[in-house]
Chains A and B, each alone.
Chain A
Amino acid sequence: DIVMTQSPDSLAVSLGERATINCKSSQSILHSSNNKNFLAWYQQKPGQPPNLLIYWASTRKSGVPDRFSGSGSGTDFTLTISSLQAEDVAVYYCQQYYTTYTFGQGTKLEIK
């Protein structure tokens, strides 16, 4: 099974500053058939189901603010929030869908 490891477990960032969350997979999730990374990012606020932000590692879902961006390839990935807003306080998860599904343990993002 592919293991997904996020860092850090929690993060406090000032409003307007950049937030960066990392995700590492135990094996490459870049598929040679389409040259795409099978990696998604979700945001989960208390009492709500997760909300898909990014898929194929860097494709933003329609309606997601452009301050959210995803990058990386192979085994190392990053979610960046370029200018933190109060409504971005949440837990963020990465997920691989290369073989079945696996989620990272989550990163709790708070305001400093």
Chain B
Amino acid sequence: QVQVVESGGGLVKPGGSLRLSCAASGFTFSGYYMSWIRQAPGKGLEWVSYIGSNGSTTHYADSVKGRFSISRDNAKNSLYLQMSGLRVEDTALYYCVSGLEYWGPGTLVTVSS
């Protein structure tokens, strides 16, 4: 069955860096565009970034542009999000999403001094 599992979250100080990973299985990973979507505690959903199926197309929300970088490795069925210059307002549960349908359980990123 389809599985999407995020990892790499944790506590980091403002200005710090973190790399999130997402492992996917049960579907043809290389055929799907992939996204990172986040949800601050008690808040709504915010799209962060997405990447085309072959990795050549990427888009970012204005709130993370220049600080976050999305990438993928189709040979490893994996998606990544390199986050730098982290701010308190980046604190959220980060979801890895395939297309519209397959969401992981999320990994929590907490930015605090």
Please give the residue numbers on chain A whose beta carbons come within 8 Å of chain B beta carbons, in ascending order: 1, 40, 42, 44, 49-52, 55, 61, 93, 95, 97, 100-106
A103 surroundings in chain B (CB, below 8 A): 44-47
- A sample of 20 cross-chain residue pairs with beta-carbon separation below 8 angstroms, ordered by A number, consists of A44-B45, A49-B103, A49-B104, A49-B105, A50-B95, A50-B103, A51-B103, A61-B101, A93-B44, A93-B45, A95-B45, A97-B100, A100-B47, A100-B50, A100-B61, A103-B44, A103-B46, A103-B47, A104-B44, A106-B44
Chain A nearest CB from B6 CB (Å) reads 10
B78 at the interface (CB under 8 A from A): no
- The answer to whether A102 and B106 touch (CB under 8 A), given A52-B101, A55-B100, is no
The answer, yes or no, to whether B59 is at the interface (CB within 8 Å) is yes
Find chain A residues with CB under 8 A from B103 CB. Answer: 49-51
How many cross-chain pairs have Cβ atoms below 8 Å apart between A and B? 39
Interface residues of B (CB under 8 A from A): 35, 37, 44-47, 50, 59, 61-62, 95, 100-101, 103-106
Instruction: Tell me whether B44 and A49 are in contact (CB under 8 A).
Output: no
Complexed CA–CA distance, A52 and B59 (Å) = 22
Q: What chain B residues lie within 8 Å of A55 (beta carbons)?
A: 100
Other than the given A52-B101, A101-B50, 15 more pairs (CB < 8 A) read A44-B45, A49-B106, A50-B45, A50-B95, A51-B103, A52-B100, A55-B100, A100-B47, A100-B59, A100-B61, A101-B35, A103-B44, A103-B45, A103-B46, A106-B45
